[in-house]
Amino acid sequence: MATADITPAQPKGATGVLLLSDGTALWGKGFGATGSAVGEVCFNTSMTGYQEVMTDPSYAGQVVTFTFPHIGNVGTNDEDIESKVEGAIGCVVREEVTPQSNFRSQQEFTDWMAANGKIGLSGIDTRALTRFIRLNGAPNAVIAHEPDGKFDLPALLKKAQEWPGLEGMDLAQKVTRDAREDWGGGYCRLGHGYGHADWHDKPHVVAIDYGAKDNIFRNLVKAGAKVTVVPAKTSLEDILALEPAGVFLSNGPGDPAATGEYAVPVIKALLERDIPLFGICLGHQMLALAAGAKTVKMHQGHRGANHPVQRVGEGWGETSGLVEITSMNHGFAVDADTLPEGVEQTHVSLFDGSNCGISIIGKKAFGVQYHPEASPGPQDSFYLFEKFVGMLG
């Protein structure tokens, strides 16, 4: 494709570009790592937690548009990293990155982005980009940063157009850990850092890592569990050999149907053995697929820290109808219309009515689409960890 098909033309002084697959070029000032990366462009409406977002493995293969204009004000630190594996490939912001101003900060956001190989782009009309995504869906694009402002635009456009997109893509294998890990981290206390897990006489949870956030494991420990984390493709035999009291199914990136090709048979076998199960985000979708439901690609997805979710269905008692403020990050969802008999919908989004939770009747197995470990409420959803650990005996 000729350069003339890319619009608008590069303005003077631009050192970064977000080039959509339709040829639309969004020019700005690059920061962080140099070079280029291809992925899906999404938006996140959170006002805080940009470092947690950028290190969440669920964002693998994605460029995050931050709708909040002031990014960088609290800097970065080692405690707020969600995972050491690949998270978001880059981000787009409105204003130039704000200098750090927080007693916990150890490094400027721009320097941290460069050190972690992530490309940033400032000076973008993020409101217009967000409206574009809301109307047209999440586009494929290349984000690029070259300090000299020289770009091979036809090559970048070809890269964006040839990228297959997230639908049908299994990214869990890319971000899962390589080996089993006995989780030893406890909960964080301000000024004290992370404590150590107390495993004495605790029920044993085996957590399957499809791209997990570390804070999930800390919350399981806080709720009273001993946690062993295993790779995404761990066999049923190897899981059972660990003698779990329950199995946790983690969050992660990509298309749940693709990951489900190897994950669902294991989960079905665990259900047949009546082993308690708890899934979050992708893990919730894996549980739904194992129960016979289907998942769908969403038009724009849900990503933010202020999503209202309502408790529905039987079993909630006096708390039925209660609304939780939740943190979400997903571009696929469980299709509620495909939930089979014996699977109850327990939570729904008040934004669009999409499924946000299920429970399998007659089994100790449930899942939620949102992220209770992110504590946006701040404690609206911690009961889910207590509920799961309480099932383990």
| Sequence-ordered alpha helix ranges (H) in 122-230 | 126-136, 153-162, 172-175, 214-223
Do 179 and 326 share a domain, yes or no?
A: yes
Q: What is the pLDDT of residue 196?
A: 84
SS3 label, residue 28:
strand
Q: Using pLDDT thresholds of 50, 70 and 90, give the confidence band for residue 139.
A: very high
Q: Where does a domain end: 162, 183, 217? A: 162
Domain assignment present for residue 357? The answer is: yes
Q: Is the pLDDT of residue 190 over 50?
A: yes
pTM value is 0.96
Q: Using pLDDT thresholds of 50, 70 and 90, give the confidence band for residue 22.
A: very high
Residue-number span of the structural domain to which 276 is assigned: 172-390
Domain assignment present for residue 167? The answer is: no
**Catalytic residue among 302, 330, 347, 371, which?**
371
* Cβ atoms of 224 and 389 closer than 8 Å: yes
d(CA 50, CA 71): 7
**Catalytic residue among 145, 281, 284, 330, which?**
281
Do 194 and 95 share a domain, yes or no?
A: no
Do 251 and 374 share a domain, yes or no?
A: yes
Do 176 and 158 share a domain, yes or no?
A: no
Q: Using pLDDT thresholds of 50, 70 and 90, give the confidence band for residue 9.
A: very high
Q: Using pLDDT thresholds of 50, 70 and 90, give the confidence band for residue 188.
A: confident
Residue 206: burial class (beta carbons within 10 Å; 0-12, 13-18, 19+): buried
pLDDT tens digit sequence for 322-358: 999 999 999 999 999 999 999 999 999 999 999 999 9
Q: Where does a domain end: 130, 162, 194? A: 162
d(CA 381, CA 364): 18
Do 260 and 227 share a domain, yes or no?
A: yes
Q: What is the pLDDT of residue 4?
A: 45
% of the chain with per-residue pLDDT over 90? 90
Do 238 and 135 share a domain, yes or no?
A: no
Q: Using pLDDT thresholds of 50, 70 and 90, give the confidence band for residue 3.
A: very low
Q: Using pLDDT thresholds of 50, 70 and 90, give the confidence band for residue 118.
A: very high
Do 334 and 234 share a domain, yes or no?
A: yes
For residue 339, give the DSSP letter.
P
Q: What is the domain count for the chain?
A: 2
SS3 label, residue 300:
strand
Average pLDDT of the residues in 295-308: 96
Please report the DSSP string for 105-147 in residue order: --B-HHHHHHHTT-EEEES--HHHHHHHHHHH-PPEEEEEE-T
Q: Using pLDDT thresholds of 50, 70 and 90, give the confidence band for residue 186.
A: confident
Confirm whether 356 is a catalytic residue: no
Average pLDDT of the residues in 220-229: 95
Q: What is the pLDDT of residue 2?
A: 41
Q: What is the pLDDT of residue 198?
A: 81
Do 38 and 95 share a domain, yes or no?
A: yes
Confirm whether 373 is a catalytic residue: yes
The domain spanning residue 296 has which CATH number? 3.40.50.880
pLDDT tens digit sequence for 196-215: 888 889 999 999 999 999 99
Q: Is the pLDDT of residue 244 over 50?
A: yes
- Beta-strand ranges (E) seen in the chain are 16-20, 25-32, 35-44, 62-66, 90-92, 119-122, 140-145, 181-182, 185-189, 193-196, 204-209, 226-231, 246-249, 277-280, 295-311, 323-334, 343-349, 355-360, 365-368
The percent helix, strand, coil of the chain (3-state, each to 5) is 25, 30, 45
pLDDT tens digit sequence for 257-275: 999 999 999 999 999 999 9
Strands 246-249 and 277-280: parallel
d(CA 365, CA 248): 10
pLDDT tens digit sequence for 78-116: 999 999 998 999 999 999 999 999 999 999 999 999 999
d(CA 181, CA 205): 12
Do 190 and 57 share a domain, yes or no?
A: no
Confirm whether 52 is a catalytic residue: no
